[in-house]
Amino acid sequence: MGLGHFLRARVFAHGVHTPQNKDVTNRLPVRRLPFASRMILPLDQHIGKPSIPIVNVRQEVVRGEPLARADGFMSVPIHAPATGMIESIELMPTARGPKTMSIVLRVHPGSNQEVLYGMPQDIDSMSPEEIIQAVQDSGLVGLGGAAFPCHVKLCVPEGHNVDTLMVNGCECEPYLTTDHRVMVENTDDLLRGVEIARRAAGAQQAVIGIEDNKQDAYEAIRAKLPKDGHIRVATVPTKYPQGSEKLLISVLLGREVPSGGLPSEVGVLVNNVGTLAKLGELLPAGQTLIERVVTIAGPGVKKPGNYIIPIGTPLRFVMQQVGFTGSAQRVILGGPMMGAAVASLDVPVTKGVTGLLAFSSATSIEESSRKIYHCIKCGKCLEACPLHLNPSQLGLLAAKRQYETMAERYHLFDCFECGCCSYVCPAGIPLVQYFRVAKSVNREKAA
Amino acid sequence: MSQVTPRIELRTSPHLHEGPSVDQIMRNVVWALLPICGMAVYTFGVSVLVLVLVVVATCLLTEYAFSVFSGAQQTLGDYSALITGVLLALTLPPGFPLWMGAVAGFVAIALGKVLFGGLGCNVFNPALVGRAFVQAAFPVAITTWTPALAPGRFLEFIPSSLAVPLSQAPDVAQWSKQVSVDAFSGATPLALQKFESIVSDPLSLALGLVPGSAGETSAGLILICGLYLALRRMLNWRIPVAVLLSAAVTAAAFHWFDPGRYPDAVFVVLSGGLMLGAWFMATDMVGSPVTPAGVWIFGALIGFLTVIIRLFGGLTEGVMYAILLANAASPLIDAITQPRVYGERKRTNRR
């Protein structure tokens, strides 16, 4: 222990201690879900420009084959999650709300669904630029929820000097255990991916940060660390939202990312463990992102666990496979703190989906009719906000629609919507939702 | 194939909540005030019991009436009007005429709260607005004190309690002399100290068996009830700590300067309404700042102003005006104590 333990004891100020609810799924091995008969692949699953379809309706495709190409650098291609035939390219509902252009794939029931597409490539002989191109070609995005193109995250912006690759294994959201299982089960893939990403980014060291409620993951990684010392692993105290990259950088490196700036300004690139494990799995084989691990949990689910689900699988199919306890009232994509409730089960699992949580009426996670009061200025939100914002004042301004003041004087755009303020608010004010609206109004005005 | 068709509820994240809601907090404040009410009734008798009931009833009725007339949502369920009523009653003299108590209750809710827009919008502590009004309107009644532990206090009213509006007030001084064991001078410990330089002993102040406003006398009990709320995280402990520390330091400085003329810190902290004000009125969330630094400044301001008013003002007590002034300063304090945001670069003059 010694000094290492002393360093690890650092903890960020504020934040909240949520119930964990991870015990149900974090010990179960990852299982595979069968293929649905019909897959829906939205063209804008990632942040950035939507992909451009390169297949025609009624065309036969094999599993892993590209269906849409990247539109420029801030975009990624989309690949066939199963062998089948293109049924249509049309507007389909998505979890985000509005219908978006999607490729609909009719899966061949008779296919053995072997991945036939892709050629193994020798990563060691590739230059950083070639690696970044290969990452983009694989269609990989941040699997921690944001779905930001992975190859963009590996590029160091002009003028910035990066020395550390931060690998985020905190997974601080309650219920979610995908990263946890991947760290335990796919440790070799993860370490291979970390090494590839470290070389591509030109960083001297890589640090894997894990919340101390995942000791088995920490031990599994530590036992397999390469001897050259480029990669190290560290635990951080369990607290929400430790998985925020800014807070992780603070706790592990003692550096503070400037307001409105990127981690690379303080010499750090951040990637999620699930993303890099996928990278370590796909890149040497020359394969593509066609499936991902999703935590399915919540009191409304009969067979909770972590499942490998083909991208594009409709939620209804997933729910049928894992079993519903009937009266589910709320289905959430992602974690309960930052995830979005979906309006329909006819939307697909996309690249950024970390979890699928179902809550039934009998086991509702909160009394659904929590009354909303006017802000009583108790200040609990200020004590909870990990970025030391003033959510109380922001909320009062939002109620008066003074969105510009919020952005100019109260750091609205620093808020990353972790939900701590709404979580503790005695008045039940949907602060985070206010801030989302305020941000989009400000963005529209700026555009 | 069985169709999965749940009734789906759309809500925005976060989907989890923790901690008490506004009504739970307010309810706990009511619980914490009940022992103080009990002590007040024990000390001063049935007059206080009826005074509390009348003031609370007026507050609730006023709140209800306004919500009916304005067509707004009914807000009695948040318990805040109830707290205002109880607190207001506890700051009044035990023999305060009941009809004046009703006036105070009406003003507290109508002027102190509803006119600003209800709970969360008021600038001043509503209970203190009500008390400030009757302080100005009925200067004699609000400074007429009666002895503690009068015999027969549970059976008969203090004569002034049942005074009829706009008529000659009954002679309370005469009554006080009759019921008083020792020669009752009609003065609170604060007045005794200020005008006669008689300093009451700390124990009797902590127990509260002295003349004064109905619920302010027992400093010890108020402290215990306040601590209960603080431990349950229903009030911000920094405010009472700042108020009491600031009052003690200010008082100690003057006492050191002229011990004969100025009272010591212990007397200042335990006497008058300071304890009740520090724990239950300064901590009113609506009127206090939200920033971590602002809370300390706010409390310190109250403690300092209280001592200054007590020592140099015409009144014997200064807690009420100190809190009202600090309430007024609260938005300003908030504005100048905005926390430093994570990653904030050097402050620029952006507007």
Hey, is the C-beta of A377 within 8 angstroms of any chain B C-beta?
yes
Chain-chain contact of B8 with A342 (C-beta, under 8 angstroms): yes
Chain-chain contact of B6 with A419 (C-beta, under 8 angstroms): no
Cβ contacts (< 8 Å) between B27 and chain A: which residues? none
- How many angstroms separate the CA of residue B16 from the nearest CA in chain A? 6
Q: Residues B238, B296: contact at Cβ < 8 Å? A: yes
How far is residue B311's CA from residue B251's CA, in Å, rounded to a whole number? 9
How far is residue A295's CA from residue B15's CA, in Å, rounded to a whole number? 17
In A, residues 268-327, which contact B (CB 8 Å cutoff)?
300, 316, 319-320, 324, 326-327
Does some domain include residue B3?
Answer: no
Collect all residues with Cβ–Cβ distance below 8 Å to B335 and sequence separation of at least 6: none
User: Coil, strand, or helix at residue A208?
Assistant: strand
Residues in chain B predicted with pLDDT less than 70, given as ranges, are 1-10, 180-186, 346-351
What ranges do the domains of chain A cover? 2-27+120-285, 33-117+288-360, 380-446
Chain-chain contact of B13 with A338 (C-beta, under 8 angstroms): yes
Collect all residues with Cβ–Cβ distance below 8 Å to A155 and sequence separation of at least 6: A132, A201
The burial class, CB within 10 Å (0-12 / 13-18 / 19+), for B134 is buried
Collect all residues with Cβ–Cβ distance below 8 Å to B167 and sequence separation of at least 6: none
Q: For residue A389, give the chain B residue with the closest CA.
A: B341
Chain-chain contact of B341 with A338 (C-beta, under 8 angstroms): no
Peptide bond into B14 cis (omega under 30): yes
- How many angstroms separate the CA of residue A420 from the nearest CA in chain B? 8
Confidence (pLDDT) at B186: 66
Cβ contacts (< 8 Å) between A389 and chain B: which residues? 339, 341
Chain-chain contact of A387 with B343 (C-beta, under 8 angstroms): yes
Q: Which DSSP category does B143 fall into? A: G
A128 membership: H or E segment, kind and range: helix A128-137
Residue A319 is which amino acid? Answer: M
- How many angstroms separate the CA of residue A317 from the nearest CA in chain B? 9
Collect all residues with Cβ–Cβ distance below 8 Å to A320 and sequence separation of at least 6: B1, B2, B4
CA distances from A428 to A15, A374, A380, A406, B21 (A): 18, 9, 12, 20, 7
How far is residue B247's CA from residue B304's CA, in Å, rounded to a whole number? 5
Residue of B22, B286, B341 lying closest to A414 (CB–CB): B341
Residue of A259, A379, A382 lying closest to B345 (CB–CB): A259
Chain-chain contact of B12 with A433 (C-beta, under 8 angstroms): yes
Q: Residues A57, A86: contact at Cβ < 8 Å? A: yes
How far is residue B98's CA from residue B49's CA, in Å, rounded to a whole number? 11
Cβ contacts (< 8 Å) between B345 and chain A: which residues? 258-259
Collect all residues with Cβ–Cβ distance below 8 Å to A35 and sequence separation of at least 6: A82, A107, A113, A310, A313
Provide the number of CB pairs (under 8 Å) joining chain A to chain B: 188
Number of alpha carbons in the 13 Å side-chain half-sphere of residue A330:
26
Residues in chain A predicted with pLDDT less than 70, given as ranges, are 1-9, 326-328, 361-370
Structure tokens at A94: 């998505």
Task: Quote the longest CA-to-CA distance of chain B.
Answer: 93
Confidence (pLDDT) at B346: 56
Chain-chain contact of A388 with B340 (C-beta, under 8 angstroms): yes
User: Coil, strand, or helix at residue A66?
Assistant: strand
**What is the interface pTM, i.e. ipTM, of the complex?**
0.88
CATH number at residue B41: 1.10.3430
Collect all residues with Cβ–Cβ distance below 8 Å to B253 and sequence separation of at least 6: none
CATH assignment of A33-117+288-360?
A: 3.10.20.600
Does some domain include residue B266?
Answer: yes
Instruction: Give B253-287 as a 3 state SS string.
Output: HHHHHCCCCCCCHHHHHHCCCHHHHHHHHCCCHHH
Give the pLDDT confidence of A232-241 residue by residue, as tens digits.
999 999 999 9
How far is residue B111's CA from residue B324's CA, in Å, rounded to a whole number? 14
The residue of B16, B337, B344 whose CB has the most chain A CBs within 10 angstroms, and thus the best one to mutate to test that interface, is: B16
Confidence (pLDDT) at B211: 86
Collect all residues with Cβ–Cβ distance below 8 Å to B36 and sequence separation of at least 6: B90, B215, B218, B221, B222, B225, B276
Q: Which DSSP category does A301 fall into? A: B
Chain-chain contact of B8 with A374 (C-beta, under 8 angstroms): no
Chain-chain contact of B19 with A426 (C-beta, under 8 angstroms): yes
Confidence (pLDDT) at B89: 96
Which among A9, A293, A48 is positioned nearest to A171, based on CA atoms?
A: A293
Does some domain include residue B31?
Answer: yes
Per the listing, tokens 């949580």 go with A357
Structure tokens at B41: 């009734």
Which among A106, A66, A102, A110 is positioned nearest to A84, based on CA atoms?
A: A106
Work out how many domains chain B is built from and give that number.
1
DSSP letters spanning A90-119:
EEE--TTSS-EEEEEEEEPTT---------
Collect all residues with Cβ–Cβ distance below 8 Å to A443 and sequence separation of at least 6: none
CA distances from A49 to A70, A441, A446 (A): 8, 21, 19
Cβ contacts (< 8 Å) between A400 and chain B: which residues? none
Q: For residue B118, give the chain A residue with the closest CA.
A: A374
Residue of B288, B291, B343 lying closest to A258 (CB–CB): B343
- How many angstroms separate the CA of residue A378 from the nearest CA in chain B? 5
Residue A303 is which amino acid? Answer: K
How far is residue B307's CA from residue B251's CA, in Å, rounded to a whole number? 6
Hey, is the C-beta of A440 within 8 angstroms of any chain B C-beta?
no
Q: For residue B10, give the chain A residue with the closest CA.
A: A341
Q: For residue A20, give the chain B residue with the closest CA.
A: B16
How far is residue A367's CA from residue B120's CA, in Å, rounded to a whole number? 23
Confidence (pLDDT) at B17: 86
CA distances from B234 to A44, A375, B258 (A): 46, 15, 40
Chain-chain contact of A365 with B15 (C-beta, under 8 angstroms): yes
How far is residue A108's CA from residue A120's CA, in Å, rounded to a whole number? 26
Chain-chain contact of B342 with A414 (C-beta, under 8 angstroms): yes
CA distances from A155 to A131, A348, A389 (A): 11, 30, 30
Give the pLDDT confidence of A109-138 residue by residue, as tens digits.
877 777 778 888 888 899 999 999 999 999
Q: Which CATH class is domain A2-27+120-285?
A: alpha beta
Structure tokens at B257: 């300067």
Does some domain include residue B124?
Answer: yes
The residue of A374, A397, A411 whose CB has the most chain B CBs within 10 angstroms, and thus the best one to mutate to test that interface, is: A374
- How many angstroms separate the CA of residue A35 from the nearest CA in chain B? 15
Per the listing, tokens 């929820």 go with A145
E-assigned strand segments in A140-188? 164-169
Q: Residues A317, A63: contact at Cβ < 8 Å? A: no
Chain-chain contact of B17 with A327 (C-beta, under 8 angstroms): no
Residue of B15, B120, B343 lying closest to A373 (CB–CB): B120
Q: For the sheet with A305-310, list strands across it.
A: A31-32, A305-310, A291-297, A355-360, A328-333, A340-341
Residue of A256, A375, A423 lying closest to B120 (CB–CB): A375
Chain-chain contact of A428 with B11 (C-beta, under 8 angstroms): no
Buried b (16+ CB within 10 A) or exposed e, B215-239: bbbbbbbbbebbebbbeeebbbbbb
Q: For residue A255, give the chain B residue with the closest CA.
A: B343
The residue of A242, A313, A338, A376 whose CB has the most chain B CBs within 10 angstroms, and thus the best one to mutate to test that interface, is: A376
Chain-chain contact of B17 with A258 (C-beta, under 8 angstroms): no
Residue of B15, B23, B341 lying closest to A332 (CB–CB): B15
The burial class, CB within 10 Å (0-12 / 13-18 / 19+), for B33 is buried
> What is the β-pairing status of strands A340-341 and A328-333?
antiparallel
Neighbours of A249 (CB within 10 A): 23
With left for phi above 0 and alpha for psi between -120 and 50, is residue A171 left, alpha or beta? left
The crossing angle, in degrees rounded to 10, of helices A178-185 and A273-285 is 50
Confidence (pLDDT) at A102: 96
Structure tokens at A342: 């979906």
A192 membership: H or E segment, kind and range: helix A187-201
> pTM to 2 decimals?
0.89
Which among A146, A194, A165, A168 is positioned nearest to A264, based on CA atoms?
A: A165
A330 membership: H or E segment, kind and range: strand A328-333
Provide the domain limits for residue B141: 22-333
Confidence (pLDDT) at B8: 60
Confidence (pLDDT) at A363: 47
Residue B210 is which amino acid? Answer: V
- How many angstroms separate the CA of residue A172 from the nearest CA in chain B? 14
Which among B128, B93, B90, B135 is positioned nearest to B109, based on CA atoms?
A: B128
Q: Residues A270, A153: contact at Cβ < 8 Å? A: yes
- How many angstroms separate the CA of residue A160 from the nearest CA in chain B? 17
Structure tokens at A168: 């985020």
